[in-house]
Every structure is written in structure tokens, then in C-alpha cells.
Structure 1
Amino acid sequence: MSSRNKIKMTKPVNGFSKLNKTEKIEWLAENYLTDNKEAVSILEQYWNEDEKLQKLHDEFIENTVSNFYLPLGLAPNFLINGKYHVLPMAIEESSVVAAASKAGKFWSERGGFKATVINQTKIGQVHFLFKGDISKLEKLFKDLEPKLREAVKPITKNMEKRGGGILDISLKNKTKELDHYYQLFVKFDTRDSMGANFINSCLEKFAEVLQKEASTAEFFSTEEKDLQIIMSILSNYVPECIVRAEVSCPVDQLSEDKNMSGEQFAEKFVQAVRIAEIEPYRAVTHNKGVMNGIDAVVLATGNDFRAVEAGIHAYASKDGKYSSLTHASVENGIFKFWMEIPLALGTVGGLTSLHPLVKLALDILQRPSASELMEITAVAGLAQNFAALRSLTTTGIQQGHMKMHLMNILNQNAATEKEKEEMVEYFTHHTITHSSVIEQLEKMRS
């Protein structure tokens, strides 16, 4: 019977977190893995030989047993606001870094990318239930705001020194959507930090003050005094934390293909974007291409790509229908391609001062501020989308993608260096598919 078909009798475990790393692996191998020795070897071979560095990685999360590596690549030649950048990109998908690099060079020869941070406002909410007279709650809130700000002074002091802090506190009535439901809706500026811990700490203190003030308000009935806090948490939807990235050039500078003029390319490109604007099935794949660039930079710089993904996709639906993040036009012979997206990023705090590769990635980017990192990251997304659409509307996406994917197929089949060289040469002149690569490799070996 193959190891794939062997089934172990699995069982729950108590006190798993108290086991050391070796004990965790031993328990895993004994209870869940069929080939114990190989599994343990795989986990241990990804441990860092530097014990201090390994301990640092072990403490990023809980119950660690090994490290999961992603390739870190570089996309050079990005001219952004008149300054050249090399973009660090952490991603596992073939062709993404190559496509970004190609787009970066293409636009560096046509004036480069322009990027602007429009706003950096972030949002947090205290969600609560209040069964009573809305006018009384509004009266309480009128006197509450200064008390809320006073209560969080120890938390906001350092942030205010850096020019950030609490921008606005408002009361939101959501009872039409959900019975008795209200919010304290708070706007923050967290400067160069992503600010999650700062925001959440402020919100939890607000909740404490709100509940206390409600319970002692003389003009509240007994039921009204029983104001119920549901939760206090930042929002990863940041539609006021916006960055714009754009490129433009005369249409006659667009074509690099003798079979297609710049005007023809621009017309086809604009139509491709318009399809993504009105067709959700296409928009999701279109925007995934944008996120290939954004996520790779976000990961490399130690930011939260899940939060970024969630916020950006929500923004793509802000008009009631999922739509393209990017837009394109041709006016008076000028091609323009642009995007406005919400991005909450940080360059201090979190992993930025702990993870050695994150620190190095930020050094590669010349130690950007949070707003500069927003601009760079948005440009990465715009460049990636441009590269994908250029392929789709000219040669097709598979030609370049499968060329990059060839090495993955060869590695999966344990090709030698000599076999790789010969296969790369062969498929320079032949169509790449998974089956054709396997077939040619078998021919070569026989």
C-alpha cells in the first residue's frame, strides 16, 4: 500500500503549546504523518542554523515547528516621482517579478510612475447596543468626547508627538440595519505605523469610559444605563486612506510590436479595462493581477497582506458591484492608466524592526515613510496590472507565464542542470504545456 493510502488513527492532544519544538514534531509524526523520518527531516532542514535567528522566528507566532520560505525577488528600474527604486517582492508565483520588472523598465523610459497619497485616515469602531431614547444618548455623547480624549492621553501622547493621533469621534446610529445598534466611529492618523495596537488600545479605553458614563448618567432610565459593549476593534476597510498611482504617455510611444500600432494597442487596452469595470467575473481576475504586485511588496516589508486584501476588495465593491481597481483612457492622443486604492501600511512597529529580511527590504527601498511605502506599493500593483493586460491583449498570457513555469515543471521531475539547459533551448522554439514538457523530458532520458 502506498503512503498516500495509509491512514493513521489520529487523536486530540492536551497541552500541545507547552511541548518544545522537537516534542511537537515527534507528536505530529507519530499521530498524523505516514513517513515519519522524511517528514521530520523536511521540517528540520528548514530550521535556521543560527539559533538566535531561529528563536526570533519561533517567537513570531505560536506552536512553531519550522520555517516556511517564500522567494524574495527584486524588480529594478521603477522610476517613481522622479526617483529610481528597486522593489523587493516576496511571492511564489512564476512570472510576477519578471512582469513587474518589464513594466517598470517600460514606464521608466516614458516618464515613470506618478504617485500621490490623498489621505492617511484610518478607522476604528466601538460597537454597542443601547435600548433607549436616542436623544438621551446624543446628549450623553455631547459631553462624552472630551472625557474620551482625556482617558486615552497616556496612549496617544507619543503618537501626537509624531503628528498623529485621534482625528474625530462621532456617534453612528445603525438601528435601521440592526435593532438597538450604535457605534462610536473614530478616525485616526497613525503616521508611519500601521497602528493596529494603538487604535485597538484607544477603542477599548473608549468602551470602558462609555459604559461607565452610561451606567451613572442621571437622565438614563435603568434599562438605558445597561448599555452593552459588543466589541471594540479597528476596521481594515480604510476608504479614506487612499493613494493614487498613474502613468501616461502619447499613444504613439506605446507599441513595441511592429504588428500593432500604439493607437491599436491603446484602444484594445482601454477596452480590456472597461470590460473589467462592468464584468465582475473578469474584475476578480483583473484585480488579482493588481494584488500580485501589491501583496508581494506588502509581504516583503512585513505588513499585513490579509488586511490589505480585504480592504482593497471591499473598496472594489464600494459602488454596489465588484469592479476594476484600475482605469484607462485615451484623450487628445494621450494614453493614461491609473488607480486609486486604500492602503494602510506601516514602516515602524510590528515585524519592521524584528524580521531581518523585512529590515533589509525597507533598506532596499531607502527607508521610506508610510506614505512613501503606500506610493511604492500602489505603483507595484499598477505595473503588474499593466504587464498582465499588455500580455493578454497582445501575445496572450500563457506564452510568458508558461516560459517561467517551465523551470517549476523541470524541478518537479528532478531534471539535472544539463537537462534543464537542453529543455530551455528546445522550448524556445516549441509551445510549452505540462504534458509536452514531460513528453520531451522522457524522450531525452530514453
Structure 2
Amino acid sequence: MIVKKLISGFSKLTKDQKLSFIAAQMPNGEHIISELKSFWHQDASVQKMFDEFSENTLTNYFFPYGVAPNVMINGNIMMVPMVIEESSVIAAAANSAKYWAGKGGFHSEILSTVKNGQVHFIWKGDFRRLKELFPQLKDQLLQRTFPITANMQKRGGGVLDMELIDMTSKLQDYYQLSVKFDTRDSMGANFINSCLEEYASGLRAFVNDSGLFEGEPLQVIMSILSNYTPECTVRTWVECDVKDFADIDDSLTAEDFVWKFEKAVQIARVDVHRAATHNKGIFNGVDAVALATGNDFRAIEACGHAWAARDGQYRSLTEIKVEGGRFHYSLTLPIAIG
């Protein structure tokens, strides 16, 4: 929709006023408004809740909410919810789940749960002196956030570690305060960012107001969690004897099928064009479950793609090993969810 001039104060309009404004800009506007309203929830209180999830809400955008049955994970059979517009994704997930359930199912383990955030700052001072005083600074910063971290500590989480990092080889006068967190069963973004804001204030005060340092003041650029969580990882795998694939394709022997499968994965490990498509297929399923459970699929994808390029080349997220007549196929993914 093209409008004739910049719009001022649109967010302050009521929902009906927003709809009327849009109707006035379009031919058949009243019909379009009627169509949009047809997607509203019949319960006004529920619709109000939906409206408050976002900004400038006009209507609801429906996605199919499906389920993949027979997903066996560590011996437990589950029905996994999936929200996606591509039916073949759920069909493939369901077929795969049923197939592997007959071969022991999926095996999964949490490797680590550490998340991290950073205070990025610019400073022209003596970094060696700041490093010498860091134990004192660290103690002050941890005390500063005790009111925020106390409840998380009671649940077994909290701040795990804190360090100063010299980044001046990458950017002039650039340093980081890097902090590791355990946020237990929560995704932890608000908790982490609240801590980092306090650390930024404490760091700035320590350097600028302590009288121990001279020269230009320390400038905090931003204080924010990182969606790249290489120490918050889950590994999932399937395995079986190669001969168990005898019935999967009438045109191939079990050995030929596994050889071809192995080569496909190896290609995705060395060719970026194939890797991008291979990983997109993985995120078909990951995103669908993230949406169905109200998690941030954009953060999960950004992290996953960064992880896929962690050695300098973008690669497949999965790995395959065929040894001694055994087929082993695994996926390791950094994933921070609630």
C-alpha cells in the first residue's frame, strides 16, 4: 500500500481508527477491513491479549498448528507441536519420527547451558592497570547486581564468570566486559540485559569516578546479551546397523543407500551452496517447533547459522559417521530457549 505522505502519530490511534485510516487509502477499503476483522478472535479479551503482543495490530495472521506424532526421544514417545505453512515439513518429520522409533528413536543430551552477554566500550586508558584492578571491580559489579541475581541463584543459576577482553587488534580502543550466565529454564534475555546495564554503569563509574585513571572518559557503546551461544548446546543423534536400511529403497542396497547419504552430507560440509539449503531444511523443523512453543526462532536461526560458520567456512550443521557396519548421524546445535 502506497500513501501520499509520511504518517505521524499512527501508533496513538485506536485499532478502529487505524483500520479506518487504511480503508481510506485503498480501493474497496471497507471490504478489506471486513476481511481483516473476520480473523479477529470471537472472545474480545483473547483478542486484546493478541493485540498487545505486538505494535499497530490490525488483525491476526493464522498459521496451521500441527503435530508430529511418534517422536521417540531418549525412550519417551512424544507428540511434538509444529507451526508452519509447509505441510511437507510436518509430514516428513512424522515419517522420520516413526521410522527412527523402530530403531531406538532419537538420542539427545544437553552438553552445556551457558549464555553470555557483553558490555562493549571504548577507552583510551591503561588497560593493563584496569586488568590489575579487575578483581576489585568484579566484586563491586557482582554486589551491584545481587538484587537482580538473588532469585536466579536460588534456582541454581546466576552469573558464572566475568572477564575483560582486549579487542584493540580488531578496532581501535575497543574492549569488552564479557559475562557468562546460567538462566536455568528461562531464555534469560531480560535477566541478562538487566545485569549488563548495571555492569555498564558500575564499570563506567569505577573508571571515570575512581580517580585512578586519567585521560578521556570510558564510553559504553552498548550492553546486551549475545544471541550466539556456543556454550549452550544440545546434541541429538540416531544410529543403527547399515543393514537396517535394506528396506528403504528397492533400487539400492543398504550399503549403496548409506554411501549416497554419506556423500550428500559430506557435500554439505564442503560446499556453501549445498550447506545453506541443507541447514534450511533443518530449520524447517526447528523453527516450526519454536513457533509452536512461543520461542524466538530468529534468535535460534541467527545462532545456528553463526555456529555453522564457526571454523571460518559455512558448513552443514549435521555430521555423519559410518564405521564397522554402524550408521551414526548427529546434529549439534546451540539453542537458547525458554
Structure 2 gaps of 5+ residues are none
Q: Are 2:278 and 1:286 equivalent residues in the alignment? A: yes
CA–CA distance in structure 2, aligned partners of residues 150 and 9 of structure 1: 53
**Residue of structure 2 in register with 1:242 after alignment:** 233
**Residue of structure 1 in register with 2:310 after alignment:** 318
**Residue of structure 1 in register with 2:96 after alignment:** 103
CA–CA distance in structure 2, aligned partners of residues 290 and 229 of structure 1: 38
Q: Are 2:155 and 1:162 equivalent residues in the alignment? A: yes
From 16, 20, 36, the counterpart of 1:22: 16
> TM-score, normalising length from structure 2?
0.98
> Structure 2: which amino acid aligns with 1:290?
I
Q: Are 2:7 and 1:13 equivalent residues in the alignment? A: yes
Count of aligned pairs between the two proteins: 337
CA–CA distance in structure 2, aligned partners of residues 335 and 260 of structure 1: 16
From 139, 142, 146, the counterpart of 2:135: 142
**Residue of structure 1 in register with 2:208 after alignment:** 215
Q: Is the 8 A contact 1:270 1:328 kept in 2?
A: yes
Q: Is the 8 A contact 1:136 1:219 kept in 2?
A: no
> Structure 2: which amino acid aligns with 1:257?
D
Q: Is the 8 A contact 2:267 2:274 kept in 1?
A: yes
Q: Are 2:62 and 1:69 equivalent residues in the alignment? A: yes
1:95 is paired with a residue whose SS is: helix
Structure 1 residue 139: Cα displacement: 2.5
Structure 1 residue 11: Cα displacement: 2.3
1:59 is paired with a residue whose SS is: helix
**Residue of structure 2 in register with 1:42 after alignment:** 35
CA–CA distance in structure 1, aligned partners of residues 107 and 176 of structure 2: 38
**Residue of structure 1 in register with 2:224 after alignment:** 233
Structure 1 residue 328: Cα displacement: 1.2
Residues 120-178 of structure 1, C-alpha deviation per residue, up to 9 Å, x if partnerless? 00010000011021212212323100111100011111111111000000000000000
Structure 1 residue 8: Cα displacement: 6.0
**Which of the two has greater helix per residue?**
1
Counting only pairs closer than 5 Å after superposition, residues 23-422 of structure 1 correspond to structure 2 as: 23-31=17-25, 33-223=26-216, 226-254=217-245, 255-346=247-338
CA–CA distance in structure 1, aligned partners of residues 135 and 69 of structure 2: 53
2:249 is paired with a residue whose SS is: coil
**Residue of structure 2 in register with 1:431 after alignment:** none
Cα RMSD, aligned residues only:
1.1
Q: Is the 8 A contact 1:8 1:34 kept in 2?
A: no
> Structure 2: which amino acid aligns with 1:189?
D
Structure 1 residue 236: Cα displacement: 0.2
Q: Is the 8 A contact 1:140 1:214 kept in 2?
A: no
Relative to structure 1, the CA distance from residue 130 to residue 56 in structure 2 (aligned partners, 3 Å threshold; closer, same or farther) is same
Q: Is the 8 A contact 2:125 2:215 kept in 1?
A: no
> TM-score, normalising length from structure 1?
0.74
**Which of the two has greater strand per residue?**
2
**Residue of structure 2 in register with 1:412 after alignment:** none
CA–CA distance in structure 2, aligned partners of residues 9 and 204 of structure 1: 40
4+ aligned runs moved over 4 Å, structure 1: none
Structure 1 residue 299: Cα displacement: 0.7
2:56 is paired with a residue whose SS is: coil
